[in-house]
């Protein structure tokens, strides 16, 4: 029996029961921008970069169940403008200094900014005051770069079966917290081999060993844009669209 399909612009996308628009599109070899999505985690729908239009409504592709013959509009000027504005806001709400960042060239936020044609931000930077955390022997926390995708929070809970991270505060005072009496990552049960320690799409959670090993110009997104290469998952060493 043939699999049912839905339409992504003019492309027929086959899907199985239980798949979302995102998982079906990814399985078909196409790319929808995203930051908070991971195929091994429960859909979150927080970053809103995977927005598509279905029956005149804006929906998140990562949380929308695939349905037969639905018409999904993805590549439009308006949707791409909205995605770019979201990325601009993420840059304005954090302290993202790409030239000095260890993950420049490997960062999904940076790669999406290039991919969406961002040359500057229309929003005034907030320059939030955020603390770093160097208490852990293997993982350094640079709060300035956190985008609150909660990939670390969810992977710790769902994949590592540990309660390590959380998000607290509001607005520009939002921050990533460590669940320990001291509030320090070094006093949690996080280990270097945990999935949560290596799933960050930006430069918030940094391994203490191994940075700057790949020269600029040879990093993941230096040769190919993210919509062609897909997201690199450092936690499993694979490239996924």
Q: Please tell me which residue, 230 or 159, carries the higher pLDDT value.
A: 159
Give the contacts of 213 (CB within 8 A, at least 6 positions apart): none
What is the CATH number assigned to the segment(s) 95-222?
3.30.70.20
Query: What is the model's pTM?
Result: 0.89
At 46, give phi and psi (nearest 5°): -95, -30
Q: Would you place residue 240 in the very low, low, confident or very high pLDDT band (cuts 50, 70, 90)?
A: very low
Read off the pLDDT of residues 132-169 as tens digits, 9 standing for 90 and up: 999 999 999 999 999 999 999 999 999 999 999 999 99
pLDDT tens by residue, 37-76: 999 999 999 999 999 999 889 999 999 999 999 999 999 9
Domain segments of the chain: what residues? 16-75, 95-222
Question: Are domains 16-75 and 95-222 of this chain identical in fold?
Answer: no
DSSP state of 107: -
Q: Which fold has domain 16-75?
A: Ubiquitin-like (UB roll) (3.10.20)
CB 68 within 8 A of CB 48: no
Distance between CA 87 and CA 51 in Å, rounded? 13
The C-alpha R_g of the chain, in whole angstroms, comes to 18
Phi, psi dihedrals of residue 217, rounded to the nearest 5°: 105, -15
């Amino acid at each position: 029996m043939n699999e049912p399909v839905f339409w992504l612009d003019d492309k027929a996308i086959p899907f199985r029961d239980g798949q979302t628009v995102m998982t079906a599109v990814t399985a078909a070899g196409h790319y929808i921008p995203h930051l908070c999505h991971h195929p091994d985690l429960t859909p979150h729908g927080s970053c809103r970069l995977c927005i598509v239009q279905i029956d005149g409504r804006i929906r998140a592709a990562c949380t929308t169940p695939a349905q037969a013959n639905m018409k999904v509009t993805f590549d439009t000027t308006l949707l791409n403008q909205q995605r770019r504005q979201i990325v601009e806001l993420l840059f304005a709400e954090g302290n993202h200094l790409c030239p000095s960042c260890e993950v420049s060239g490997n960062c999904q936020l940076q790669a999406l900014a290039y991919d969406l044609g961002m040359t500057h931000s229309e929003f005034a930077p907030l320059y939030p005051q955020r603390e770093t955390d160097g208490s852990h022997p293997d993982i350094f926390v640079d709060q300035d770069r956190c985008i609150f995708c909660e990939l670390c929070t969810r992977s710790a809970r769902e994949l590592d079966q540990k309660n390590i991270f959380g998000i607290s505060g509001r607005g520009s005072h939002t921050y990533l917290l460590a669940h320990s009496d001291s509030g320090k990552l070094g006093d949690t049960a996080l280990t270097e081999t945990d999935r949560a320690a290596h799933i960050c799409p930006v430069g918030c959670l940094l391994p203490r060993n191994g940075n700057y090993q790949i020269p600029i110009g040879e990093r993941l997104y230096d040769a190919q844009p993210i919509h062609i290469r897909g997201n690199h998952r450092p936690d499993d060493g694979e490239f996924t669209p």
